[in-house]
C-alpha cells in the first residue's frame, strides 16, 4: 500500500479559495455581458428603450471585458494548477474554455448567422433577370439616371444590401 502523507498536497488555504472565487465571479460577469443582450434582443419579443440601451452598452464593452476575463482566469489557473487535484484541474480547464468561448461570442454577430450578409452583391440586366417573377415585388431606386431593383424576397432575407447607384453610395434595407 502506498499512502501518501497528507502533507504532500497543499490544503486549500485562504488565498487559493479567493482565487477560485475570482474565477467564478469573472466567468459569471462575462456570461452576463454576453447573454443579456442576446436575451433582451430576441425576435418576437417586445423591446424597450432601456433594454436596448443596456444591450448596446453590454455589446459595446463585451469584447474587451471578455478578453480581460480570459486573462484573469488564465492567471488564476496558472497559480492554482500546481498541486491541484485532477478534478480541480478539470474545473480550471473548463473555466478557461468557457471564458475563451465567451470572448469569441462577444466578437460574433449572431443576427448575421441567421441572415447572411451579401458580401459581393451581383446584378443582372432587367431583361435577363429570369430569377424574379413578374408579380414579385421589388424595391426600386432611380438616382442620377441609374436604376436598380432589389427583389423583396431576397431583401427579406439579407435585410441590408450596400450599393452605389448613380454615383451615390446607399444602403437598401427591408
Partner 1 sequence: MWATTVRGRQLHFHLAGINNQNFIMRDEETGSWWQQVTGEAILGPLKGARLERVPHDELTFATWRREQPAGRVLRPDERVAARYESADWEARMQRVPVATTDADATAGQRTLVAGLALGGAAKAYPMNLLAAQSPVNDKLGPTPVLLVVGDDGRSVRAFDRTLDGRAAEFFRKPDAAPLRLVDAATGSEWDFTGRAVAGPLAGRQLKQLPVLLDYWFDWHAYHPDTLLYNAGAR
Residues within the interface to partner 1 (CB under 8 A)? 37, 41-48, 52-53, 55-56, 60, 109, 111-112, 115-118, 121-127, 129, 131-143, 147-162, 165, 168-173
The residues that bridge with 161 in the sheet, in sequence order, are 172
The helix/strand/coil state of 167 is coil
CB of 41 within 8 A of CB of 52?
yes
Minimum CB distance to partner 1, residue 111 (Å) = 5
Neighbouring residues of 106: CB distance < 8 A, sequence distance ≥ 6: 33, 34, 59, 62, 63, 65, 66
**Cα–Cα distance between 91 and 81 in angstroms, integer?**
10
CB of 115 within 8 A of CB of 157?
yes
Minimum CB distance to partner 1, residue 124 (Å) = 5
- Identify which of residues 8 and 133 has a Cβ nearer to partner 1 in the complex: 133
Exposure on the CB side of residue 18, measured as CA atoms within 13 A: 3
Minimum CB distance to partner 1, residue 8 (Å) = 53
CB of 73 within 8 A of CB of 25?
no
Minimum CB distance to partner 1, residue 34 (Å) = 14
Element (H, E) at 171: strand 168-173
Minimum CB distance to partner 1, residue 72 (Å) = 25
Amino acid at each position: 500500500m502506498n499512502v501518501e502523507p497528507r502533507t504532500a498536497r497543499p490544503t486549500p488555504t485562504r488565498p487559493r479559495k479567493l482565487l477560485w472565487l475570482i474565477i467564478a465571479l469573472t466567468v459569471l460577469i462575462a456570461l452576463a455581458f454576453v447573454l443579456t443582450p442576446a436575451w433582451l434582443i430576441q425576435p418576437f419579443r417586445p423591446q424597450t428603450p432601456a433594454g436596448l440601451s443596456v444591450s448596446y452598452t453590454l455589446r459595446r464593452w463585451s469584447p474587451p471585458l471578455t478578453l480581460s476575463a480570459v486573462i484573469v482566469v488564465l492567471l488564476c489557473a496558472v497559480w492554482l494548477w500546481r498541486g491541484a487535484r485532477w478534478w480541480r484541474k478539470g474545473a480550471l480547464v473548463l473555466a478557461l474554455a468557457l471564458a475563451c468561448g465567451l470572448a469569441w461570442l462577444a466578437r460574433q454577430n449572431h443576427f448575421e448567422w441567421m441572415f447572411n450578409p451579401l458580401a459581393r452583391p451581383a446584378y443582372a440586366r432587367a431583361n435577363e433577370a429570369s430569377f424574379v417573377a413578374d408579380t414579385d415585388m421589388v424595391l426600386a431606386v432611380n438616382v442620377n439616371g441609374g436604376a436598380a431593383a432589389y427583389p423583396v424576397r431576397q431583401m427579406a432575407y439579407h435585410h441590408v444590401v450596400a450599393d452605389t447607384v448613380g454615383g451615390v453610395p446607399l444602403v437598401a434595407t427591408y
